[in-house]
Amino acid sequence: MRNYDEQYLAYLPHSGLSNQRIELANAILLAAILKRTLIVPPAFLGSVVGWMPMEQLLDHLSWLTTPKDFDSLCQRPTPGDLHSYTQRSKCAEYNQFAAIPWSQLHDFSSLEPHVKIRFHDTVSFEKLQADLGVTDDETYVHRDDHLYDWRLYEDIEEANRILANGSNFVDSFTDRKFYKIFTPSDWQNKKQRLLHLGGIFGSTRMNMVKPKHIQLQKMISETLHYRLDTPLGETVAGIVEHLGGKATFNGIHFRLRDVPFKKYALDNLHAFERNMSIATGTPVPPLPPYDEFGVLTSLPKPPPLPQDTIPLKPQTDLTLPPWVNVCENVSPHINKSMEHVGWRAVVYIATDHRDLRAENSRLLEWFDYFPCTLTLNDIPKELLDPLDELHCMFNPSKSLKNYLIPLVDAMVVAHARRIFTTPRSTFSKYIGELNEAWVLKEQGYTLASFYTY
């Protein structure tokens, strides 16, 4: 039975899973403030289209999420069959795409007292209206002009100051984008039963000042930590045990593929070398002086290469020689120093690089500093077997295994004792939050407890 007094908030997801999670967090908060039921689309994995005007994004996502016989439809084109060729671009998109319910990634039960959430599998404006029993007259649609179309400010004086000095802009990769300034009342004044937004991405999209909303924002962030009681979590637990157990290794999340991470790859590598050396007791050159603005006048020098390191090839069983004779797991107790371990420390690197050990890799020097380093490529393949249970929600024959590898990688490194993450990466920042929740806080520490150089 439909509730004709119930009001709804819907939005459109886009881009990678990390961006979608940020959108989801913003949407949950806004729905709670507006006292609307939030309509949540599935979580999309793999290669997902980025932001685009609403009608285009709807067209892409609607085709991908409307039930159909994808296996038959997306076979190789048949000579002479024009239709089989016209589907090629959409099928190419489908072949790089998969979906999973958000509830398999996160436990939303703690939010039930604060906001009502309704999961909706198909991304279709018409189907959503029909399922909710909402007419066009009862629908308000906000179409974004660009990715950073608006920000919400709870502090009215701050909103007015930003407008007065014209600082409401973002310098994107292409040019300067000015965004609209909204306050909660702008959305509260929309009385239509369905409020449908475009994208709602951005870690600075929702600017709260009321303590109850700041606390709710924090609760939402904690709710959107990955679950560990799933086949995904089982996979992670097996790999962490293979490495020696939670907090017995150090970790790095190293993003390399996308701009600006490619540009700063070597700078970040040298920073990781320096920070890991300091953490494990290797002396490093002093920092260069700071300028009047508190910024280093030059990049810090990397540490000297350790003496007498032993090159190691990854092995299946880490309890056997030569690994066990050379490499050392660190103490899981954070109050115990690692400074005696040095280059022998076990390190796990989570990365989007295909193969850090490849002959043409610019990052090979890392293994000269820390030869006891492993990546997901070095993990026994059978430890990934629990992922075989998971399949795309739109095609049961489509395994999610390959699509979930980046999540496994991220969740494993989040179990490290000490973790260093890639600057300017929202996904890296999130992994740091997971590390804080799963490792540091258990022993009374936070990320702020540690200083990096």
The pLDDT of residue 452 is 74
Write down the domain spans for the chain.
8-223, 231-449
The mean pLDDT of the chain is: 93
247: region left, alpha or beta (phi > 0 left; psi from -120 to 50 alpha): left
pLDDT surpassing 90 at residue 84: no
> In which band, very low, low, confident or very high, does the pLDDT at 202 lie, cut at 50, 70 and 90?
very high
Contacts by residues 378-381 (CB-CB < 8 Å, ≥ 24 positions apart): 378/314, 379/239, 379/242, 380/242, 380/316
At 83, the pLDDT band (50, 70, 90 cuts) reads low
Q: Which fold has domain 8-223?
A: Rossmann fold (3.40.50)
CB < 8 Å & 24+ apart, contacts of 376-381:
376/239, 376/350, 376/405, 376/408, 376/409, 376/412, 377/314, 378/314, 379/239, 379/242, 380/242, 380/316
User: Which pLDDT tens digit goes with each residue over 261-297?
Assistant: 999 999 999 999 999 999 999 889 999 999 888 888 9
Summarised one tens digit per residue, pLDDT across range 50-62 is 999 999 999 999 9
CA–CA separation, 102 vs 289, rounded Å?
47
Q: Which of 33-42, 105-114, 335-344 has the lowest mean pLDDT?
A: 335-344
Mean pLDDT of 123-140: 97
Q: Which pLDDT score is estimated for 351?
A: 97
**pLDDT (average), residues 101-112:** 97
Rg (CA), the chain: 24
pLDDT, position 173:
62
Q: Is the pLDDT of residue 79 over 90?
A: no
